[in-house]
Structure formats: C-alpha cells, structure tokens
Chains A and B, each alone.
Chain A
Amino acid sequence: DVKVTQSSRYLVKRTGEKVFLECVQDMDHENMFWYRQDPGLGLRLIYFSYDVKMKEKGDIPEGYSVSREKKERFSLILESASTNQTSMYLCASSLSSGQGRQPQHFGDGTRLSIL
C-alpha cells in the first residue's frame, strides 16, 4: 500500500513566521501535490511537482512556495504566515503514467492554525 506521511497532524504558528510542512511518500511516485481544504471550498491545488526540482503553480500559489530536492519528499513553505492561511493542508502523490488515469494517494493532513 502507498504510504504518504505528513510530518505533523496539528501545527500552531504565529503571524509572520516561516512555516514548513513536510510530506514523504514511499512508493517512488513521480508526482506530488499540495492542497488546502476549507469548508465549502473543497480541495484547492496550491503547487504540484512532476519530478525532482520541478514544480508548477496550482490554482492558489500566492503566499506559498515548495521544494522538492528528493523524489520522496515534497515540502510546502509559507514564507510569512498569515491568519488567512489557517486551514487543513493535504499532500498527495501519484504515478505519472496514464495521462490522468492515476489516482492520487493522500496523507492524513496537517491542520495548521496561524495566530
């Protein structure tokens, strides 16, 4: 079974801090994704990566950056945290073959609160 592990289940940070969310997958997947989930808005894609050191912006990249130095690890960075970034953050991974047929496998999420 695919295992996607997010380093923290709950995180509390202060406004203006630099925040790192870490995600590791163990199935050698090429693609990795970061979403945020807010009530009534579903999942919104922040960034995704299709290879090491490769990244693309999703639908809501403002205020975020990402890093993928190794295939198994994908980090989400909040450069200067703000209260409107309080949310549930979900990491996912998938294989790249099949042009859209591949399901994404999700971690359990990090509930981030910015005070």
Chain B
Amino acid sequence: AQSVTQPDIHITVSEGASLELRCNYSYGATPYLFWYVQSPGQGLQLLLKYFSGDTLVQGIKGFEAEFKRSQSSFNLRKPSVHWSDAAEYFCAVGLYSSASKIIFGSGTRLSIRP
C-alpha cells in the first residue's frame, strides 16, 4: 500500500542554520511528490512538487527538495532558515487516480531557535 513516512516529529534548528526534513515514500511506480507547509492556524500551502525530470526541484520561500529513487526519499532542504519558517511541514504523494487523491505524511514540526 502507498504510504509516506516523516520520521522526525519535531525538529529545532537555530536561525541561519541549514535544514533538512526527511521524507520516505512507498509506492509502486514513479511517484508524484509534494511538500506542503502549514503555519499556525492556517491551511496548507504548496512549497514544491516533483513529477519527473530533474531530481532537484526548487520551490517557494527558498526551499528545495531532492528525489532519490534508490532511497525512496524526497527530503526538503533550506540552506539558511528564518524565524518565519517555524511551521509544520508535510510530505505527500499523489496517487494515479481520476480524483487526484494525495496521501500525506504525519508531518514534522519545525521550531527555530533565536
């Protein structure tokens, strides 16, 4: 069955430090992959997506993610975090279906240390 695993429930990094959030998926074919961010009290906002081609994808707010088929991973990175990046981050995989269903990971909460 398709699944998405985010092994880190909560991560704290210092402002200005680099960030990597981990995501592993289980899917039978080349997946459609997404990263979303949810600020407190808000809905989810799309950060970036991967369908095919270049395995390093750029997103909004300075984020990037790398698809590694051999590791079934799609980790999110940012070279230097800002206090405003504190939020919850969700990795997701899109299913081949007419209704464009998406399976979400359980999320990683990011805190920023001043």
Contacts and interface: CB of A to CB of B under 8 A. Distances in A.
Interface size band for B: 20 to 34
Interface string B78-113: 000000000000100011111111101111000000
Most buried by A among B43, B51, B90, B101: B43
A105 B44 CA distance: 8
Interface in A1-37: 4, 9, 31, 33
A96 B9 contact: no
Contacts, number: 71
B63 interface: no
Mostly, the B contact residues are loop
Interface of B: 9, 32, 34, 36, 41-46, 49, 51, 90, 94-102, 104-107
Interface of A: 4, 9, 31, 33, 40-43, 45, 48, 50, 56, 90, 92, 94-96, 98-109
